[in-house]
Amino acid sequence: MAPIISKIYIYPIKSCKAIELTESQLSKYGLLHDRVFLVIDPATNKQRTMRELAMMSQAEPKIEGDKLVINAGGKTLTVPLVPDISNYEDRTVTVWKDTLETADLGEEAAQFFTEYLGVPSRLVFKSPNHKRPVVEHAPGVNEIGFVPETAFADNFPILCLSEESVKDINTHLENPIGALNFRPNIVVSGVSKPFEEDEWCLVDINGLTYYFTCRCTRCDMPNVDPATGNKDKFQPQKTLQSIRRVDKGKAAKWNACVGINAVPSAHTGTIRVGDILDVKQVFEGDRQRSGQSGWTTKAITVGA
């Protein structure tokens, strides 16, 4: 029995609440409308995330026609779902080590998030004119005809996780967690064993090939309960560090890994709940984040 898609999630505003879908279109950033908005610290122009502000996870966006309606702290903010960036001031922001061009959505949005989070904040939208390429571990022009890119996601366009992997993690935890603790885009069910997705390289979904590139390393973000916004000081991160330090590559060997990053081979297409994952190729040997660029399905020797 082949695995199928059981859940689809997008996160229009990075670190805010998910929207569950029954189907999603693809875009050049992965799933349509996924992580194209970002809350920033206006003093530094750096991203704000639920790592530091767990209550961000309770800000709830909803798509209503051509609007994004955000509810937080008993108040509502409405912004264009796809803002015309020519109507807004430019702002250069930083996501990790990447510098990105964005449109600042103005004073009303800034006041909304500043009041809700209790710290100066502004809302920005990713400029479609600025590319944020995904190079390391990703397929390139030779494989898919274009350089993959992403908006405000940490690293990759799409994150996939199996229900069976979450169930296995819960056998090690006193307080069970759910897939949303890991903020995946695609949740699958029906794999033959927990973490089978770690082994996938080429997977066809609804007639389109997806490159499953590397495991996702984990910080303490899964410690935030997506239902309440409460953050546990230790779990599940402490347990994950003991059972899921499975990647031998560079810095990844010091971190737990849960979920697998993916790059679709086109910017258009549709995925739906119930779609079958046809695994065409699996990784040979130990999967490692080597730090080298380019695409390979074979193990790479990692130096000290």
Residue 288 is predicted with a pLDDT of 62
Q: How confident is the model at residue 166 (pLDDT cuts 50, 70, 90)?
A: very high
Phi and psi at 41, nearest 5°, equal -85, 115
pLDDT in tens, 209-243: 999 998 999 999 999 999 999 999 999 999 999 99
Q: How confident is the model at residue 302 (pLDDT cuts 50, 70, 90)?
A: very low
**Rounded to 5 degrees, what angle do the CA atoms 213, 217, 221 make?**
130
pLDDT in tens, 258-291: 999 999 999 999 999 999 999 999 987 777 655 5
Residue 301 is predicted with a pLDDT of 45
Q: Is it the case that residue 49 has pLDDT exceeding 90?
A: yes
Q: Read off the pLDDT of each residue in 17-35 and give the average, rounded to a whole number.
A: 98
Cα-Cα-Cα-Cα torsion 207, 6, 195, 35, nearest 10 degrees, comes to 80
Q: Which residue, 301, 263, 33, is CA-closest to 141? A: 263
More confident residue, 287 or 81: 81
Q: Note whether 212 and 261 are within 8 A (CB).
A: yes
pLDDT in tens, 143-162: 899 999 999 999 899 999 99
Q: Is it the case that residue 292 has pLDDT exceeding 60?
A: no
